[in-house]
Amino acid sequence: MNRQKFIKRTFWGLSGIGFFSGLYSWQIEPFWLEFVKVKMPIKNLSRDLVGKTLMQISDIHIGNRFDYHFIINSFKKAREFNPDFVVYTGDYVSTYKDEVQYNKLEETLKNAVKGKAGTIGILGNHDYGRNWSQSAVADKVSEMLKSNGINLLRNESTEVNGLNFIGFDDFWGLNFNPEKAMNSFDKSKANIVLCHNPDVCDLNIWGNYNSWILSGHTHGGQVKPPFLPAPMLPVKNKKYSAGQIELSNDRTLYINRALGHLWQVRFNVRPEITIFELTNSG
């Protein structure tokens, strides 16, 4: 093979690889849902909760950038697991644009996965509209969540069947007050914190909290080159990408990779719904 033919074949070969990689990242992986199963040892967990399941769904991002019916179909698949608890960790919409977005969200929430024992939610930054500064958008999203059976926590806590959920409002939003939320922390209880943005884990607000923190926000970067860190993460602490991370004071952070997308592109970061099996850590 002469030099000219080699260059020509190499060019077309690389072009083909690029084309199919782009097609995969646009049309396949963004809709290739993964159910991730994780053991969740919790201090002070009552015996009757051992073996129960807690499902985390995060960042559904209903808007105009991808077909929201993917979220509805994912909810239908998730319901087959019949979870005991379901938590939603924020960003139900992409940045608010028009009333059509609310209509899509309403249709989606009518199909929301519910826990047999309880269904809890918190807000994310996108739920506060443009520049995370539109309280009317947050109030509207909150109203829709509550009317569809999701118990929304905004710097509050609620105890459900012996499991104490502490819900932070969003770090970048208008109502962030973790100190208020942590006022209800009781170390003798079985506790879980819901916190959309994992950067909050580095703030000096935790006291002697020593249990799980469930977050979203990062989407795992959505695009992650093999063997390399995700190049684009919307967090200050770049170790907060995805999955389970052990923190100081015996805290455990779990970052869900998101079910929806800001943009319809994913590579090596499949959309995720997490299913935790509750165990007693002793």
Strand ranges inside the chain, DSSP E: 34-42, 53-57, 85-89, 118-122, 151-152, 156-160, 163-167, 190-194, 212-215, 243-246, 252-255, 272-280
For residue 19 the two structure tokens come to 């084309």
Domain borders along the chain are 1-31, 34-280
User: Minimal CA–CA distance to 89: which of 280, 269, 274, 281?
Assistant: 274
Predicted local confidence at residue 23, as pLDDT? 84
Q: What is the pLDDT of residue 22?
A: 72
* Residue 101 to residue 222: CA distance in whole angstroms: 22
| CATH code assigned to 34-280 | 3.60.21.10
Contact 41, 192 (CB under 8 A): no
Q: What is the pLDDT of residue 26?
A: 83
Q: Using pLDDT thresholds of 50, 70 and 90, give the confidence band for residue 5.
A: very low
3 state SS of 110: coil
- For residue 246, count other CB atoms closer than 10 A to its CB: 8
Q: Are 261 and 271 in contact (CB under 8 A)?
A: yes
Length of the chain: 282
Question: Bridge partners of 244?
Answer: 254
158-209 pLDDT tens trace: 999 999 999 999 999 999 999 999 998 999 999 999 999 999 999 999 999 9
> What's the whole-number mean pLDDT along residues 219-239?
93
Average pLDDT over residues 137-160: 97
Instruction: Give yes or no for residue 6 having a pLDDT over 50.
Output: no
Q: From its phi and psi, is residue 81 left (phi > 0), alpha (psi between -120 and 50) or beta?
A: alpha
Q: What is the pLDDT of residue 18?
A: 45
User: C-alpha distances in angstroms, 33 versus 106, 113, 170?
Assistant: 22, 15, 26
Model confidence, pTM:
0.92
Helical (H) or strand (E) element with 74: helix 69-79
